[in-house]
């Protein structure tokens, strides 16, 4: 093994073996056959066709906007407009039935509020191929969500300072495209820019994609894939995997995975030691506001910077609780991958029954904690529920932070672990009065347990005031940010319930079947014990 320094980047020269290639083939088969992580050709063609139709709609809409604003015929005909993709789809690591992240790039005479959320929204609302259409105008990156011919699409918007957006605009990598753009457009453009930079940075795109597919599946199954709740999100995992691929350019995914877990577990996570894939200028340019430029904050526990200008911290939501949960999972992932790769003196597998499927085992959340906090959102219709559910979910991390403060004086003696999935609990659907009944319900859960710490004799946590303050904060956020929803947010239309439940008191919809007989436990790999990992 040899270490080199190339352009300030440490590169480890360790060559893959024939056995590594065979192991990687096994991993790919598991992803395809056991977890259905690859699309077939028909599904791929369908996505391409849907994007082409959406692109055509965008062009027609932009021409109509030009006519409504009195533009000359030449400007109208040449104004163009174009759809770009970003996220997993652009990187080529999307799974079947996952959504497409799409970016609408429009010329300067098209407005976000008046046109994108106005006339385009109306046009899509009347389109026969569009279902479940909803706007998110107040988000960090405003978007329109929809289902187009059965495929879920999140559509964001960028208005660049050009009179036309033609087909000759192949990519968005030139920083000059940021000139004169508002904050929302800069953030929207950077989704596609980041994805394209990642693909240019990795030495072997196929190995990057396979490793990233594994990491995404692992993180989702372990319940640590959610930027909103304070875990790493898609962008953070993409950057981390790209970083590992750059450091170990000659390794196959089987060993890249081991090195991914080792890097994430053992690096010095600190606000002043961010993960940097490529160095990006921190100087204000192209009219970018100072507020958009990355600045060190001691509240950033695990900073991972995006590689496009202006770089941003993709993990600013990470809390003490979510950091601890991720580090615990990185450690388990490292133990599992090291055990799989371990060979005896004859070069044979130390644990022949240990499969790569063990890495993707789902975390048994509802049997791993003694105590839970259950947050239930009930609504009277689909549209209101979608909007309210997303709003409450985006504020759950503040609730977790408030819970952490209850025990921070006791060295965080209580572990809190939010689960990034909601569940429909039938028992929460009730009749409000003669006119209204809740027809939609989703519940989120936060696991709680006392840490084993000899210095803490007894821990008492009173949740009452924290829950009450969270209720009050929700009401204030609604009033400040969504005043038009205030009436709909009343108890007659929407209800939020927060309550403590013990493991035995969990709703039947989620309660583990073996409680009271044999509790399912999330087992770690122990080299002294060969278990059935299938």
Known binding-site residues equal 86-88, 99-101, 154, 216, 225
- Round to whole Å and give the CA distance between 334 and 362: 16
Answer positive or negative: Cα dihedral of 115, 117, 123, 129.
Answer: positive
- Round to whole Å and give the CA distance between 101 and 525: 37
Tell me phi and psi for residue 453, to 5 degrees.
-145, 115
- 459 three-class SS: coil
Asked if 252 and 316 count as a contact pair (C-beta separation under 8 A), the reply is no
Answer yes or no: 88 catalytic.
yes
- Round to whole Å and give the CA distance between 248 and 254: 12
What tokens appear for 498 in the block? 């927060």
Tell me phi and psi for residue 165, to 5 degrees.
-125, 95
What tokens appear for 8 in the block? 């300030």
Considering 82, 89, 188, 216, which one is annotated as catalytic? 216
Tell me phi and psi for residue 349, to 5 degrees.
-60, 130
Considering 35, 38, 71, 99, which one is annotated as catalytic? 99
Answer yes or no: 25 catalytic.
no
Asked if 184 and 113 count as a contact pair (C-beta separation under 8 A), the reply is no
Considering 20, 196, 225, 255, which one is annotated as catalytic? 225
Binding residues for ATP: 86-88, 99-101, 154, 216, 225
Give Cα 512 distance to the centre of its chain: 27
Residue 10 β-bridge partners: 5
Binding residues for Mg(2+): 99, 101, 154
Upper half-sphere CA count for residue 234 (Cβ side, 13 Å): 16
Considering 154, 175, 381, 522, which one is annotated as catalytic? 154
Answer yes or no: 509 catalytic.
no
Measuring CA to CA, how many Å separate 55 from each of 82, 119, 161, 167?
A: 6, 16, 20, 11
What tokens appear for 497 in the block? 């319930």
Answer yes or no: 309 catalytic.
no
Long-range CB contacts (< 8 A, 24+ apart) of 119-128?
A: 119/61, 119/64, 119/65, 119/68, 120/58, 120/61, 120/144, 123/57, 123/61, 123/64, 124/57, 127/57
Q: Which residues contact 126 (CB under 8 A, 6 or more apart)?
A: none
Answer yes or no: 115 catalytic.
no
What tokens appear for 249 in the block? 């350019």
Considering 20, 82, 89, 101, which one is annotated as catalytic? 101
- Round to whole Å and give the CA distance between 403 and 412: 10
Considering 79, 82, 88, 470, which one is annotated as catalytic? 88
Asked if 39 and 87 count as a contact pair (C-beta separation under 8 A), the reply is no
- Round to whole Å and give the CA distance between 251 and 23: 12
What tokens appear for 262 in the block? 């080792």
- Round to whole Å and give the CA distance between 402 and 111: 39
Q: Residue 371: in which H helix or E strand, if any?
A: strand 371-379
Omega of the bond leading into 310 within 30 degrees of 0 (cis):
yes
Answer yes or no: 480 catalytic.
no
Closest CA to 132 of 158, 165, 159, 99: 99
Angle ∠(526,531,533) on CA atoms, nearest 5 = 105
Among all residues, which ones are annotated catalytic? Answer: 88, 99, 101, 154, 216, 225
């Amino acid at each position: 093994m040899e270490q080199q320094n190339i352009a300030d980047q440490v590169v480890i020269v360790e060559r893959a073996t024939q056995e590594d290639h065979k192991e990687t083939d096994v991993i790919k088969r598991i992803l395809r056959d056991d977890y259905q992580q690859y699309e077939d050709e028909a599904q791929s063609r369908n996505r391409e066709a849907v994007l082409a139709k959406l692109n055509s709609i965008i062009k027609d809409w932009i021409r109509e906007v030009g006519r409504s604003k009195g533009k000359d015929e030449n400007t109208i005909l040449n104004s163009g407009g174009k759809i770009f993709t970003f996220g997993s789809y652009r990187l080529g690591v999307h799974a079947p039935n996952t959504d497409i992240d799409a970016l609408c790039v429009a010329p300067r005479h098209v407005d976000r509020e008046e046109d994108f959320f106005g006339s385009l929204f109306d046009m899509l609302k009347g389109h026969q191929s569009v279902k479940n259409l909803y706007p998110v105008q107040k988000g960090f990156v405003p978007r329109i969500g929809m289902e187009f011919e059965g495929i879920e699409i999140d559509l964001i918007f960028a208005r660049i300072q050009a009179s036309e957006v033609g087909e000759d605009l192949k990519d968005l990598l030139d920083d000059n495209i940021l000139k004169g753009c508002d904050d929302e457009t800069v953030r929207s453009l950077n989704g596609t820019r980041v994805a394209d930079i990642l693909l240019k940075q990795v030495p072997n795109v196929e190995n990057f994609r396979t490793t990233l597919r594994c990491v995404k599946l692992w993180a989702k199954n372990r319940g640590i894939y959610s930027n909103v709740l304070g875990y790493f999100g898609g962008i953070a995992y993409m950057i981390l995997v790209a970083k590992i691929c750059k450091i170990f350019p000659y390794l196959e995914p089987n060993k890249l995975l081991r090195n991914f877990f080792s890097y994430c577990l053992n690096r010095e996570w600190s606000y002043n030691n961010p993960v940097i894939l490529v160095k990006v200028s921190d100087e204000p340019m192209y009219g970018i506001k100072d507020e958009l430029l990355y600045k060190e904050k001691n509240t950033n526990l695990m900073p991972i910077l995006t590689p496009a200008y202006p770089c941003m911290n993709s993990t600013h939501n990470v809390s003490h609780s979510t950091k601890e949960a991720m580090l615990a999972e990185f450690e388990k992932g490292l133990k599992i991958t090291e055990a799989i790769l371990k060979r005896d003196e004859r070069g044979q597998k130390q644990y022949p029954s240990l499969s790569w499927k063990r890495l993707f085992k789902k975390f048994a959340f509802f049997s791993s904690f003694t105590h839970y906090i259950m947050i239930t959102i009930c609504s009277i219709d689909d549209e209101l529920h979608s909007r309210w559910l997303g709003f409450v979910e985006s504020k759950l991390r503040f609730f977790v932070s408030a819970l952490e403060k209850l025990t921070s004086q006791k060295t965080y003696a209580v572990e809190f672990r939010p689960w990034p999935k909601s569940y429909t609990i039938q028992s929460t659907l009730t009749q409000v009065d003669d006119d209204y009944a809740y027809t939609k319900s989703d519940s989120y859960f936060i696991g709680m347990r006392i840490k084993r710490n000899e210095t803490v004799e007894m821990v008492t946590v009173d949740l009452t005031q924290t829950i009450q303050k969270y209720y009050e904060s929700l009401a204030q956020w609604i009033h400040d940010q969504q005043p038009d929803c205030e009436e709909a947010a009343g108890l007659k239309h929407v209800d939020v319930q927060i309550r403590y439940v013990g493991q035995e008191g969990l709703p039947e919809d989620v309660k583990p079947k073996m409680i009271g007989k044999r509790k399912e436990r999330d087992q770690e790999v122990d080299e002294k014990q060969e278990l059935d990992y299938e």
